[in-house]
Chains A and B, each alone.
Chain A
Amino acid sequence: MTPAQRRSIPLRLALHALMVVLAAVFLFPFLFMLASSLKTNDAIFADLESGRALLPVGDLTGANYVGAFARGHIGHYLANSVLITVVTVALGLVVNSLAAFALARLEWRGKQAVITLLVILLVVPFEAISVPLMLLVAKLPGIAFGADGVVLTGSWLDTIYVQIIPFVANTFSIFLFYQVFRDIPKDFDEAAYVDGATPWQVYRHIIVPSSGPVFATVTILQALAMWNQYLWPLITVPGEAARPLMVGMEQFFSARKTAWGEVMAYAALITVPVLIAFVFFQRWFVRSVVGSGVKG
């Protein structure tokens, strides 16, 4: 007998009812956002009096979406955010898995010291170093692509790469890879080394193919973190050219506080792709979070 079958029917109905009520509590802001994004301001305000506020009913319009694109530069910021997220995640998968491979599968002096250092670094929240890091990137020599070709500049501020390079190496990703790589039986690489394989070949043909799930986990966690970045671009990217979506959203919201429909359309446009990804890869999202908690 499963635990559920032991419970009485009224209790199960009550728990079910509670779950439905809670689901409503967790869903209504999404519903409000989506419904409002399809209505004129007048319709939004009129519908606030009733449950219609959460439903796409009445005279629906796509004008808010047109407005968000026209006035919110959403296409431009979207391209920036996609570029930043994709490049950071892709580079991060390679860089962090390589480091984890060295830590988990190779023997070398200083390995324990590096692991200890990483454990300490694991607890440094990004917020604690963001202000000094900003001074650092403000003074690093950078490059810019101007009208007269590639030019050297004296700062990384206001660029796309200032939003990418500092986030490629990630202690947490290294640890996720490390835990998985460490548990792969050592016989495989021993046999490969006997046959004259190089560490690179072992990494490429044995370790990576047998640890697909952790690559998915790191991709999801890192992509979400990058997509949702706010503090860092806020302080390092004052201009519009390299601005990502979240900062664009905040600016649009501050500038057009009364245009509820357009702001909601903007929010929906940013959220819906992530929600669709979540629905399709739900199992992987769940596994990622659980994997991230196990290390405790």
Chain B
Amino acid sequence: MGVRRHSPIAPWLFGAPALIGLMLFLVLPFVMAVILTFTDQRLVSPRPGAFVGLRNYQRLLSVGALVQTPERSAAGAPVYARVRSITRGNRAYAGYRPLTAFRLGNRRVTVLATDPAFLQALGNTMLFAVLVVPLQCAMALGLALLVNAGLRGQTLFRAIFFSPVVMSMVIVSVVWAFLFNKDLGLFNQALGWISLGAVRPVDWLGNPATAMPAIVIMSAWQGAGFQMLILLAGLQGISQELYDAARLDGASAWQRFVHITLPGLRQTVLFVAVVTTIAALGLFTQVDVMTGGGPRGTTATVMFEAVRHGVREENIAYGATISVVYFALITLVIVVQQAIRRRRGGGVA
């Protein structure tokens, strides 16, 4: 280490504006979030929040099950007592509402939760991530290979594939909401035209079965260009000599892809997948603009619920609890990433 040629305070002066900013607007709110989860703090309230222990977490995450055997069979179909007739007035089920139900043999199992809307939103968010991450990464890899193939005009095509990334998600959502429109949307027009009118118009954003997939497709379209560029940098980092050697040994294009390209991209793909997953778990804008969480809660997400409770219903403590659970999810993703990296790094080259 060289001789110190500046006053010991100088580095702190240089760092102070940024460090104070990060402490005040990043570290402090995070610490506040954790503390708030143990209180009943409201956004606008004359009194300070009181300590309530784990009550927010209990309300958020409590689940139970109600198993029913059929009371009788009407025309071969089993008939069950109404769930509400059992739970109402029963202290064991106080605060529980049905989340979902399924059959197990001749029994009906009703899953109950104290906040079914949140658990549904958590499930929706996971579903979104599980659908969009592979789709978007595969699209990005395909695009990266295509613009790396040495064809003419590849700079122009690269720019075109990337262009949706610079477009705001709000604008993308608005434009696509028109494209998805049931009666006048371009997608339904095209489907009808291709199928010669055989396919009935789909209410993409109004149908519980298609709303989330529609948002997935739009999100992948918007974001793929970003991952494409990162994968492209990864592709260009793979030594050309490896390909030349493989070609001399008579390896086919497919073999070169599987044995050189994919292993060479492993770290990049892992990074891209993790970044995409984290972004996917924060899904909010598309839902807020296009569906408002509907239809029937099928597009509500964790962040959507955090904003709904924390801001719109002014229950900041509960909103903070959802934020902390969201952060725990992100942490889990990163822990898994590190584990994969370590195992790969420690194993065979």
| Chain A residues proximal to chain B, CB less than 8 Å | 2-5, 7, 12, 15-16, 18-19, 22-23, 25-30, 32-33, 36, 45, 48-49, 53, 94-96, 98-99, 101-103, 106-109, 111, 114, 118, 121, 123-125, 127-136, 138, 165-169, 171, 174, 186, 190, 193, 198-199, 203, 224, 227-228, 230-231, 234-235, 246, 249-250, 253, 260, 263-264, 267, 270-271, 274-275, 278-279, 282, 285-286, 289-290, 292-294, 296
Contact = CB atoms under 8 A, between A and B. Distances in A.
B146 A224 contact: no
B14 A199 contact: yes
**Chief secondary structure at chain B's binding surface:** helix
5 contacts: A48-B184, A121-B27, A135-B43, A174-B18, A271-B171
Of B10, B15, B176, chain A has the most CB atoms within 10 Å of the CB of B15
Contacts of B172: 29
B263 interface: no
Contacts of B150: 2-5
A22 B267 contact: no
B170 A246 contact: yes
A22 B18 contact: no
Interface stretch (B63-71, B93-101, B109-117, B305-313): B305-313
B182 interface: no
Contacts of B264: none
B36 A135 contact: yes
B170 A106 contact: no
A286 B310 contact: no
A131 B11 CA distance: 33
Contact of A26 (B36, B164, B270): B164
Contacts of B311: 131, 134, 235
Contacts of A94: 17
B284 interface: yes
B170 A228 contact: yes
Given A99-B14, A168-B17, 8 more contacts: A30-B167, A99-B18, A123-B334, A131-B311, A135-B41, A168-B21, A169-B26, A228-B169
B178 A125 contact: no
Given A3-B149, A129-B33, A169-B18, A231 B307 contact: yes
A114 to B, nearest CB: 7
Contacts of B345: none
